[in-house]
Amino acid sequence: MSRWLITVGVILILLGLIWPWLSKLGLGRLPGDIVIERDNVRFYFPVTTSILISLVLSVVFWLLFRK
């Protein structure tokens, strides 16, 4: 369990470090991401980006942990 948590932590740190380059690819501004802007409030919910990241991580974890 601890090795798994350390691996997830390292992956999150790496994603945080490469996020500026990933944002240039358009992640976070895909069609289907919800942005509502009012006077002093901005609500942002990245639906499509979340689904895409979930699919990629599912495939990666499936490839890593299949037997």
pLDDT at 25: 79
Q: Does 59 score more than 90 pLDDT?
A: yes
Question: What are the sequence ranges of the domains in the chain?
Answer: 2-65
Residues 33-59 as b or e (16 or more Cβ within 10 Å = b): eeeeeeeeeeeeebebbeeeeeeeeee
pLDDT tens per residue, range 1-55: 788 899 889 988 998 898 788 778 777 788 999 999 999 999 989 899 889 989 9
pLDDT at 27: 74
The overall pTM is greater than 0.85: no
Residue 58 — pLDDT band, cuts 50, 70, 90? very high
